[in-house]
Structure 1
């Protein structure tokens, strides 16, 4: 079920609903695309605070919405010539009505219009940020500037000027009709000379770099694509903005086409979010991400009918809880995998390494004096060196010989303090070498170009054996504690399971009622959408055993 386009009721509609076999689809897609989302890049952009401003329609607007419903019903039944009226015309009229009733009839007063509410909000911000000379963007795609007749741009400019804003601080992007004029206009906004910039997505989307002083952005109407909203908000949520926090205002007129518009955006974003995501794909997916949930919340605000609003709010809540449940289950599966595989494997490795270090420590202590001082000894290429300088030079020459030969594998070079000494060339394109001291275990050391310094590095690596043993033992204790915690966590159930069950049951009741109303043939004397949802919300009927079961689950969730 979905909101009808005319905004006056609900209807059944079959649509493409979900993707299946997402892992395979993503494999094909990523052969040609590299996905980088905002949560992956973590760019230093300002934090956005969203404000949804809901306008109550006038009685005239309500009558117009009912008239749109009548026209839509006539079109669906084939009672009207498509050349005289069709759903495209109804949709356009619905969008105009939601934005400003004067777009339908200029003689109306528009007392409670979006333009007036936007001007009030923008003027308040303008006065509060006078010292900072902060700027604001106002997006409106439907009603662009015109020379004759009513348009929202001119109306907004008029109301801003009546509120005290100088005309020079207000600009339309449409007046900058060349690249040079755009560059000049953008510079004025960045300097704070222009405080209000009004435009459409097409003209003020990608390439509009005016973010320096932007403090607020206003959505007057709803574009057709989620990418348009992303482009609009990308003008303010951008690197280089001097403000740490910005405000985004979304204006919706209750009970009008706005609800259907936000519904379209929500449905489109749902599919986009399943593909353009940083998360690992699952076998099938219809979950919502934060953007989709945000659009759904605005859609609910735009629905005037109380039970439709309740259904939409429950849709959002149930989807959010299911998403939390899915994430909880995913974490639970990860813990089960860790208990079964990762922690035992990690403990086995640590125990083996501990045993190796415990054997190597006395080996080093027995021949520790060979690492420095007058008793220094090192064997390199069957020759024993008692002085550090020639020994260090010989070690470097052995490394360089490996590079000349093109060898990149570990090669035995000699013996140091009872440990076999191996060296290798890290790269054929640079003078970078590594050494490895092998006893029961192995200990790698990065070598430099200082002959004496390399010998010191070998000595220091062996000196760290006691600390290395302590670190391994501490890591074992940490891993054992993590294992015990995981065993406890994996036995817990989803903490909001009772809440999810209760809201899902209420949603099922509303869906059945709305589905029955949507399928019922409307009475000709009844306005479309009227009388569908006027009664009080029906209480959920449960048997005594069901009530006891639900209460038990709530208590169990609370205890957990």
Structure 2
């Protein structure tokens, strides 16, 4: 980039919004003019960062800027490498839209009309390299009638390159099927804009297992300030979303994605700054991981106490289940005997009674309990029914109000649940017998497995109690290097030669 550009650090509203109410009309006009000037400076320098012809195409030419040449070279190479698969690409730029679709004219410094468009330039260069013109489209061409057709052509590879802005192409486009690469020519103001752009390609339904995302940065340009703005906003959003501590495990995946800080460093063109930013990202991940590690150790003792209490309960239950299994084995050959009680009276059944009659009586008893529960002011959730095969039968009335399925508890040395269906009375005793003959044995095995799991968990916690953070040495080494680089960069900034882009780091962030 030709020329030497320095940018002012005056805040957007230096005196604060409240003071505007008390100034004269002349002072107000001067303040507005100053603010307009700040916006103009930012806007013009964003154009220079993209291509100097976007500011003035009468003074500057193709040789004064290289960003568009780089994107054209990359797009064409990817086009050729994936021509057989008809893979597609998207190029994003919020500036220098097609000349045909501009809402207003832009002017050069001498007052002549500026006809330069980054969109048109990229398309012309790609066509010159051999890509058919009909395979390159602008999102601005889309209308209500043809937008769906354009998306379909992108999904099938009929359109190979689509150029658009965040507002028009960042959302609402279902074009991911063959997307192999996304190219970012400029820097939007919000972190979410980058996410939206990349969301066109990082999406289910893309046939490409590996995709490419390209960021184009002009060294020593406005890109540094823009990525600084992205970094500040991203960090602020993450602080709100994550709270003070206890970051989620998934956050470590973000290390594979370049951050605004790394792009800012690349724009500065300072290798120490780039290394510093890279270390900063790595240390953020290590710090979160280290914090979680030691916070987890602080709660280990509580976890051990809780697990030991659970272990004790399960061990006691295992003893009781084992006693019930012993009783079941001893009484397995005994004649059929069932006691059902109601209102203080008991009715006994034996092997002389028909099982169908027993089932019908049992079903009526259960339905009667539910009816009484529904009309009674003193609702009793559990009702004792009687005894069968050494177990007390308890009706869970509160959970049995659908008039079909009823929940019973078999009380022995331990308790077991079984569900019966009163619409099939003959199956009630069968369900209870199956629970006693097979279900309690399964309960014994499940309890035994849970005891084993708890013992292993307690042993692991106790073994890890005195273990150090596994990446402690790496953390210390990177922290030491980070501090050394920080001192070096501070010394550079306090010297006579100063990086213009760092001016913005001392100013207030502009809201656009």
Same fold (TM over 0.5): yes
From the superposition, tell whether residues 440 and 116 of structure 1 become closer, same or farther in structure 2 (CA, over 3 Å): same
Counting only pairs closer than 5 Å after superposition, residues 268-287 of structure 1 correspond to structure 2 as 268-276=233-241, 281-282=243-244
Could you report, residue by residue, the CA deviation over 1:336-393 in whole angstroms, capped at 9, with x for unpaired residues? 3312x222112111112112212222222232236xxxx3333334333444333334
8 A Cα contact 2:324 2:412, kept in partner: yes
> What is the match of residue 93 of structure 1?
44
In 2, Cα distance between the equivalents of 1:283 and 1:348? 34
In 2, Cα distance between the equivalents of 1:446 and 1:75? 72
> What is the match of residue 118 of structure 1?
71
3-state secondary structure, aligned to 2:217: strand
Greater C-alpha radius of gyration: 2
> What is the match of residue 336 of structure 1?
301
Could you report, residue by residue, the CA deviation over 1:8-45 in whole angstroms, capped at 9, with x for unpaired residues? xxxxxxxxxxxxxxxxxxxxxxxxxxxxxxxxxxxxxx
TM-score by length of 1: 0.72
* Correspondence for 2:130 among 155, 164, 176: 164
3-state secondary structure, aligned to 1:136: strand
8 A Cα contact 2:52 2:65, kept in partner: no
> What is the match of residue 116 of structure 2?
150
Of residues 434-443 and 491-500 in structure 1, the stretch that sits farther from structure 2 once superposed is 491-500
> What is the match of residue 362 of structure 1?
326
The alignment status of 1:139 with 2:89, answered yes or no, reads no
The alignment status of 1:410 with 2:382, answered yes or no, reads yes
From the superposition, tell whether residues 247 and 392 of structure 1 become closer, same or farther in structure 2 (CA, over 3 Å): farther
3-state secondary structure, aligned to 1:223: coil
Residue 206 of structure 1 deviates from its aligned partner by 2.6
8 A Cα contact 1:408 1:427, kept in partner: no
The alignment status of 1:327 with 2:278, answered yes or no, reads no
TM-score by length of 2: 0.78
Residue 334 of structure 1 deviates from its aligned partner by 4.0
In 2, Cα distance between the equivalents of 1:215 and 1:113? 23
Residue 427 of structure 1 deviates from its aligned partner by 6.1
In 1, Cα distance between the equivalents of 2:247 and 2:317? 43
From the superposition, tell whether residues 479 and 260 of structure 1 become closer, same or farther in structure 2 (CA, over 3 Å): same
* Correspondence for 1:439 among 408, 412, 419: 412
In 1, Cα distance between the equivalents of 2:71 and 2:440? 69
> What is the match of residue 46 of structure 1?
none
Residue 445 of structure 1 deviates from its aligned partner by 1.7
Please list every run of 5 or more consecutive structure 2 residues that lacks an aligned counterpart in the other structure.
15-29, 101-113, 504-512
In 2, Cα distance between the equivalents of 1:75 and 1:469? 73
Of residues 421-430 and 114-123 in structure 1, the stretch that sits farther from structure 2 once superposed is 421-430
In 2, Cα distance between the equivalents of 1:527 and 1:302? 15
> What is the match of residue 397 of structure 1?
364
In 2, Cα distance between the equivalents of 1:239 and 1:75? 43
> What is the match of residue 238 of structure 1?
203
Counting only pairs closer than 5 Å after superposition, residues 24-39 of structure 1 correspond to structure 2 as none
Residue 112 of structure 1 deviates from its aligned partner by 6.4
Could you report, residue by residue, the CA deviation over 1:415-435 in whole angstroms, capped at 9, with x for unpaired residues? 221111123353646743322
Residue 224 of structure 1 deviates from its aligned partner by 0.6
From the superposition, tell whether residues 103 and 473 of structure 1 become closer, same or farther in structure 2 (CA, over 3 Å): same
8 A Cα contact 1:270 1:289, kept in partner: no
* Correspondence for 2:431 among 453, 457, 469: 457
From the superposition, tell whether residues 135 and 384 of structure 1 become closer, same or farther in structure 2 (CA, over 3 Å): farther
Count of matched residue pairs? 453
From the superposition, tell whether residues 165 and 399 of structure 1 become closer, same or farther in structure 2 (CA, over 3 Å): farther
From the superposition, tell whether residues 301 and 359 of structure 1 become closer, same or farther in structure 2 (CA, over 3 Å): same
> What is the match of residue 72 of structure 1?
8
From the superposition, tell whether residues 353 and 527 of structure 1 become closer, same or farther in structure 2 (CA, over 3 Å): closer
Residue 74 of structure 1 deviates from its aligned partner by 9.8
Please list every run of 5 or more consecutive structure 1 residues that lacks an aligned counterpart in the other structure.
1-60, 533-560
Could you report, residue by residue, the CA deviation over 1:173-222 in whole angstroms, capped at 9, with x for unpaired residues? 1111x322322322322233222221111111232222233232222211
> What is the match of residue 278 of structure 2?
313
The alignment status of 1:421 with 2:386, answered yes or no, reads no
Of residues 400-409 and 258-267 in structure 1, the stretch that sits farther from structure 2 once superposed is 400-409
In 2, Cα distance between the equivalents of 1:443 and 1:73? 75
Residue 502 of structure 1 deviates from its aligned partner by 2.6
Counting only pairs closer than 5 Å after superposition, residues 144-223 of structure 1 correspond to structure 2 as 144-147=97-100, 149-176=115-142, 178-223=143-188
> What is the match of residue 487 of structure 1?
462
8 A Cα contact 2:52 2:64, kept in partner: no
In 2, Cα distance between the equivalents of 1:227 and 1:265? 10
Residue 496 of structure 1 deviates from its aligned partner by 2.0
3-state secondary structure, aligned to 1:422: strand
In 2, Cα distance between the equivalents of 1:443 and 1:155? 78
